[in-house]
Structure 1
């Protein structure tokens, strides 16, 4: 879609004062998908040269905001970590064409803050942390589970930039389980639940996305009973936080979330597959 209110595209490599009507341009799959009448200038990040995915000396994984879904998928195939299958599962949850895979970015998916955003699911489940850069040069870090605060809402100040997401080495060593539901075969996720079992201490994290307006990450020091898991979900998700749109009614999303969370609890409790 043409954005006929945009009068300038600025190279993101060269700092300049932020002004009303500016927007960061990564892959552009959202920006060019619908009218954006409030925009006047795009700040292009495509030539920043950020390494898409980089393994840190401590074993952590830094994913640049400009990393495309295709690049992340290719990298994960050779990752060699127990949590590696989760990357492809979440990439496939896009149910998008190869054209979207080669343009859509991890950062864009996070900053759109849609409940069904699968990069939110992936990075929240693996306890990811966002690096945010302010216009004045300041930096701050926010957990992905806290970065997305609601449907279309995120903890991002005016002009602030999501630079990268870092996944800790310990999370990559977790054994994971994945469940997803849509109302139809090629539909947007209505429910997406991920479990991550830490092999070091036996703790379990269960992360809910798509069915809720924000990511909900529940952590248990030991694998919970079915009753404790259900009670934790009920306590963490208020009645008004079950998402409601054409891709699923709140009652159905809630039911499937409880069902999948229990399936995941049993799968990971049962030991290696």
Structure 2
């Protein structure tokens, strides 16, 4: 869709060329959402494509994913065999249920910064202890857990002028066992519930709930909990008003499916642990 209110397009080639924030700015990654509907408030586009950030950087400390990395590039990553939970990359990329056109344009950073509950890159990075690297307009940098970056639908913790530079997934998280469950109202529908569980070598169990909730919710247990303890943990961590309500699922259905899929994950990881 043409954005006919835009009067200026900036294409910075380095950090020093990133402009101070102005009213009407929109940061452009892949643009798959930005160009999907009218944006009458947008006056200036800041296109990140020419910054030339390497899409992926694999190191002993983990995996660094540039904000401009496309879904196709991420899905094509071949992880070391010891990174067992890297299987979640494939699962979450396919949770887009998008055409190859979208896969080759949509970016990891764009999906996270849009902040929609069904954003599968939010699910992936929140479940694997992802940490966002945020560049400030004053030249500073801060790191924030992706669980805390996304505060609600279309609401993220970026200050005016801040840009998401990358997301770092630590190697320790990538070595964990993982289990993935997703539910939608239709076979090719948007995620209504997406639950990921991970199990560490020391027995620690973590559960990350997205899509069914307005923001990511993460629960941690010192060991795989009993079914009743998991149910109680979910009830305490997710009050009724935190369940999302839209055409892709009512809160009652999302609550029920979250509990059901969480128990399936608990059983799977308990069996793997045994």
- Give the TM-score of the pair, scaled to structure 1: 0.96
Q: Which runs of 5+ in 2 are unaligned?
A: none
Judging changes above 3 Å, is the alpha-carbon distance between structure 1 residues 47 and 264 closer, same or farther for their aligned structure 2 residues? same
* Structure 2 CA distance for aligned equivalents of residues 189 and 271 of structure 1: 26
Q: Which residues in structure 2 correspond to 1:17-166 (within 5 Å)?
A: 17-58=20-61, 60-75=62-77, 77-80=78-81, 81-166=83-168
CA RMSD of superposed structures (Å): 1.2
Pairwise mapping of residues 201-240 of structure 1 onto structure 2 (< 5 A)? 201-240=202-241
- The alpha-carbon distance between structure 1 residues 220 and 180, as it changes in their structure 2 partners (threshold 3 A), is same
The 2-side partners of 1:57 and 1:253 are apart by: 38
Deviations 1:19-72 (A, max 9, x none): 2111111000011011111111111101111111112342x1110000000000
**CA shift at 1:139, angstroms?**
1.0
Aligned-pair distance for 1:103?
Answer: 0.2
State the alpha-carbon separation in 2 of the partners of residues 211 and 129 from structure 1.
22
SS of the aligned residue for 1:47 comes to: helix
Distance 1:223 1:272 in 2: 9
2:176 aligned partner? 174
Count of residue correspondences? 270
Distance 1:18 1:83 in 2: 38
CA distance in 1, matches of 2:79, 2:207: 25
Q: Which moved more, 1:13-22 or 1:150-159?
A: 13-22
1:6 aligns with 2:9: no
Deviation of the 1:217 alpha carbon: 0.8
TM superposition score normalised by structure 2? 0.96
Q: Please list the CA deviations of residues 136-188 of structure 1 after superposition, one character each: whole Å capped at 9, or x if unmatched.
A: 11211110111101111110111110001101110000111000000001100
Instruction: Name structure 1 gaps, 5 residues minimum.
Output: none
Task: After the TM superposition, list the runs of 4 or more consecutive aligned residues in structure 1 that deviate by more than 6 angstroms.
Answer: none
1:27 to 1:187, Cα distance in 2 relative to 1, 3 A:
same
**TM-aligned CA deviation for residue 272 of structure 1:** 6.5
